[in-house]
Chains A and B, each alone.
Chain A
């Protein structure tokens, strides 16, 4: 078997003769991909997207995006004779009369939930490890766009079956759109083809959902992949890993096979969920009518934070000169989303401005080693999480026997206090973990061996940490600080002059100051055999 098999060699040479693929393959077949469990999170989103394309195409074969009124005469007995839209009737048809239709429908819905979930955790991974830093800012922006588009894609898809639950979502969408000052009424009339609900919105959402948005998603995902390929993946600090290399397994064959296996695994999970976990049983909800709603209505999880924001908001509304600004709708619909998405988009550039760091970064940060960033991230997560929880405050109230209004009032305070607490707690945890790293590096790890010294003292022998652990810890990078000290004439350096410059210098110092340097030693007077407990002397940090 030392010869290349003929079909493979033949194909390769056929393609190379025509495409000149050889030089590309020579460079890329063995492209190295670093390994870390957290690098798989984005792949969940990628594979879910592929599954969404496959299952979605299947659904289009039967789905009729029409709001034409029909009388149901299909095989689901409880609804026979009931008037409904053709969209709802065809969704029932897919569910009950197409073999595998229900399975594919449920898989499509589960894949959508997993798609956004995968993107979200992937985004958190990139954020907390600082993998968005130069040169990857553009890919980060693409990611933020992808996340926003995924929400729009979810919203348009969720509305298509035209059942009572999805109609509630559509009604809320309309209420939000019409609240926009100046143009809201026009936007609504154009979107719905007149007054709500009209007869156009399903077919319009349909073309957005199956053509426009997925087309843009596909293009952006491709760009995301190409940039990742060109820039090479970041890696976690460890033995032999530097800013100038990449250590791991080659694309061909190992990474390719792993990625294939992971795709199949994601597919299997979605198939399993589609089989055993019922989702969106639209036949139980009935057809949409604007006159009815069921209590406890919940959107898909990724819309929960907007729903929670709407629920938290007090009833503010401004009337002036015969015009109305419904703040109780506008603020919750636009502000949290604006804070989160804009915050994400500008973060890499804000950080660069604050730290003055224009270097390329290919070694990922451990979250603890950038405590301010991690704390900001966690307070963002808390902000989002509280809104998300409040999107289900009626369920919380019912399950935990808390008054409904109390949950809202608690939420109104928690949305401000929660992120602040999260910031502080995270910051302290980061410093604590850094201190632990410092301790292990300077002091070794507990070996479990207890030794009695000649004068009677018992100590636990500490041994140096394993090389890979030590290297992982030594991967800590200092965060640069913009020089802000005034020179002897009292003139601050360029870039930190004026009020904004002063703010920058302050922020930079706050952001970059390393309170627990790795080579700092809090263990004076002790060798590596020092007793447990003796190393816990309080150290001055600030």
Chain B
């Protein structure tokens, strides 16, 4: 890849033809610009020395500001301590402000330097086609074939085939090694930690819920299983929303046997991609997932009325224990959360199973 300079048409008369980058006699090779303006290069327009001197003052000022701001940065680090939100704010402003000013002044200085002290350039270089010339290509092609033949790779079939054979399982090895990244799913996605008799407790406080206390229609609670309040794996499937209705509000989609005194428990994990369906609109009885706005009708078995979720939020059978605390009657009878390949139409199976029981 060579780059020859083509002097512009009108430069021809003034300057001898020569390669850019091989400076004329008496020019400094690196760093400094020529002291005399008489040495000119095609496409290089030197700035007016007086203007350059003026610009130098600007650049010097900017570099000096950068220097001061740099000092201020170091000083800020020493002076401003962190530890609470206010002092961190002050430290952040001082460190960041001084750093910003330092970098900004430095970059502005270099810009002025380039634009007013360095020459204006309009250098022309030739391009060459990327492809090499015919002789080279031919030589490379021949060499390649010759090399392949010399290596014996072409001739010795048995060797070639066993080499490929050897490579195949080794290529799979990294994949095999990844197997222990996690356990196999098994049926774990079909179950949650809920089981008969497990108390429903309020998320956050861990208080069990007296059915008689949860008595204002329209009330809603976020509920977790007792004993699993801080087990994120359990919560990712077992978290519930508990809603109190007037019994006459409940429609056919909700399984009445699984409610207690108008209190219904649905899985809080959205059936779309698993965000907590955390928003509830009292007047319309809509449960809304804030992630992708799947909307479920809480009075009607949490069936989907809008959005990308394809299935209702599963309902958990609940009841009360001897002291009147809400408990689970069983685990969910369908997998909660997002759909997966092995899931199948679990709702249909569950309906069939319920039909057989009654």
A residues with CB within 8 A of B: 1-5, 8-9, 12, 26-27, 29-32, 69, 75-77, 83, 95-103, 106-107, 135, 168, 171-172, 174-176, 178-186, 188-198, 200, 204, 230-232, 240, 243-250, 253-254, 257-258, 260-265, 267-268, 271-272, 274-276, 283, 288-297, 307, 310-317, 319, 321-326, 328-329, 332, 360, 362, 393-394, 404-405, 408
Asked if A245 and B273 sit within 8 Å, CB to CB, the answer is no
Interface pairs A-B: 8 shortest CB-CB:
A175-B273, A275-B96, A264-B107, A317-B310, A268-B103, A322-B344, A261-B110, A290-B236
Note all chain B residues with C-beta closer than 8 A to A324: 339-345
Q: Is B178 on the interface with A (CB-CB < 8 A)?
A: yes
B243-282 interface code vs A (CB 8 A; 1 in, 0 out): 0000000000000000000000000110011111011000
With contacts A184-B340, A290-B235, A317-B339 taken as known, whether A8 is within 8 angstroms of B31 at the C-beta atoms is yes
CA distance A75 to B82 in the complex (A): 9
Q: Is B309 on the interface with A (CB-CB < 8 A)?
A: yes
CB distance from A226 to the nearest CB of B (A): 12
Asked if A326 and B338 sit within 8 Å, CB to CB, the answer is yes
* B85 interface neighbour in A76, A101, A260, Cβ under 8 Å: A76
Asked if A311 and B308 sit within 8 Å, CB to CB, the answer is yes
CA distance A193 to B237 in the complex (A): 16
Asked if A254 and B92 sit within 8 Å, CB to CB, the answer is no
Number of CB contacts from chain A to chain B under 8 A: 340
CA distance A262 to B88 in the complex (A): 30
Q: A178-B339, A274-B96 are in contact. List 15 more A-B contacts (CB 8 A).
A: A32-B123, A75-B83, A172-B275, A190-B182, A191-B181, A194-B233, A197-B232, A244-B126, A289-B232, A291-B235, A312-B308, A319-B344, A323-B342, A324-B339, A324-B340
Q: Is B352 on the interface with A (CB-CB < 8 A)?
A: no
Asked if B338 and A247 sit within 8 Å, CB to CB, the answer is no
Q: Is B143 on the interface with A (CB-CB < 8 A)?
A: no
Find residues 86-109 in chain B having any chain A CB closer than 8 Å to their own CB.
88, 91-93, 95-97, 99-100, 103-104, 106-108
Note all chain A residues with C-beta closer than 8 A to B203: 291-292
Asked if B84 and A77 sit within 8 Å, CB to CB, the answer is yes
CA distance A361 to B125 in the complex (A): 16
CA distance A77 to B87 in the complex (A): 13
Most-contacted residue by chain B among A83, A176, A184, A329 (CB, 10 A): A329
CA distance A195 to B186 in the complex (A): 11
CA distance A275 to B114 in the complex (A): 28
With contacts A2-B35, A310-B308 taken as known, whether A195 is within 8 angstroms of B235 at the C-beta atoms is no
Note all chain B residues with C-beta closer than 8 A to A12: 29-30
Q: Is B12 on the interface with A (CB-CB < 8 A)?
A: no
Q: Is B61 on the interface with A (CB-CB < 8 A)?
A: no
Asked if B125 and A246 sit within 8 Å, CB to CB, the answer is yes
* A315 interface neighbour in B32, B95, B304, B341, Cβ under 8 Å: B304
CB distance from A187 to the nearest CB of B (A): 9
* A194 interface neighbour in B85, B179, B183, Cβ under 8 Å: B183
Asked if A323 and B278 sit within 8 Å, CB to CB, the answer is no
Asked if B95 and A99 sit within 8 Å, CB to CB, the answer is yes
- Cβ contacts A to B, 21 pairs, < 8 Å: A31-B3, A168-B275, A168-B291, A174-B273, A185-B341, A190-B182, A196-B233, A200-B181, A254-B114, A260-B110, A267-B107, A276-B96, A293-B275, A294-B290, A310-B273, A310-B292, A311-B293, A314-B308, A324-B340, A328-B309, A328-B310
B150-191 interface code vs A (CB 8 A; 1 in, 0 out): 000000000000000000000000000011011111001100
Note all chain B residues with C-beta closer than 8 A to A276: 93, 96
Note all chain A residues with C-beta closer than 8 A to B113: 257
Note all chain B residues with C-beta closer than 8 A to A408: 293, 306-307
With contacts A3-B28, A195-B189 taken as known, whether A96 is within 8 angstroms of B84 at the C-beta atoms is yes
CB distance from B225 to the nearest CB of A (A): 11
Pick out which of these stretches binds chain A: B19-27, B49-57, B209-217, B316-324: B19-27
* A83 interface neighbour in B31, B114, B230, Cβ under 8 Å: B230
Note all chain A residues with C-beta closer than 8 A to B103: 264-265, 267-268, 271
Note all chain B residues with C-beta closer than 8 A to A307: 292
Asked if B268 and A394 sit within 8 Å, CB to CB, the answer is no
CB distance from B146 to the nearest CB of A (A): 27
Quick one: closest B residue to A31, CB to CB?
Answer: B3
Q: Is B1 on the interface with A (CB-CB < 8 A)?
A: yes
Asked if B107 and A245 sit within 8 Å, CB to CB, the answer is no
Asked if B290 and A394 sit within 8 Å, CB to CB, the answer is yes
Note all chain A residues with C-beta closer than 8 A to B308: 310-315, 328-329, 332
Asked if B224 and A103 sit within 8 Å, CB to CB, the answer is no
Note all chain A residues with C-beta closer than 8 A to B342: 185, 322-324
CB distance from A359 to the nearest CB of B (A): 10
CA distance A249 to B118 in the complex (A): 11
Note all chain B residues with C-beta closer than 8 A to A246: 124-127
Asked if A323 and B185 sit within 8 Å, CB to CB, the answer is no
Q: Is B219 on the interface with A (CB-CB < 8 A)?
A: no
Asked if A315 and B189 sit within 8 Å, CB to CB, the answer is no
Q: Is B121 on the interface with A (CB-CB < 8 A)?
A: yes
CB distance from A2 to the nearest CB of B (A): 5
Note all chain B residues with C-beta closer than 8 A to A325: 341
CA distance A100 to B93 in the complex (A): 10
Q: Is B2 on the interface with A (CB-CB < 8 A)?
A: yes
Q: Is B299 on the interface with A (CB-CB < 8 A)?
A: no
Asked if B272 and A189 sit within 8 Å, CB to CB, the answer is no
Note all chain B residues with C-beta closer than 8 A to A69: 230
Find residues 114-131 in chain B having any chain A CB closer than 8 Å to their own CB.
114, 118-119, 121-127, 129-130
Q: Is B144 on the interface with A (CB-CB < 8 A)?
A: no
Asked if A178 and B8 sit within 8 Å, CB to CB, the answer is no
Asked if A329 and B29 sit within 8 Å, CB to CB, the answer is no
Asked if A362 and B127 sit within 8 Å, CB to CB, the answer is yes
Note all chain B residues with C-beta closer than 8 A to A176: 273
CA distance A311 to B100 in the complex (A): 39
With contacts A1-B35, A290-B235, A317-B310 taken as known, whether A245 is within 8 angstroms of B26 at the C-beta atoms is no
Note all chain B residues with C-beta closer than 8 A to A250: 20-21, 121, 123
Most-contacted residue by chain B among A3, A76, A261 (CB, 10 A): A261
B40-62 interface code vs A (CB 8 A; 1 in, 0 out): 00000000000000000000000
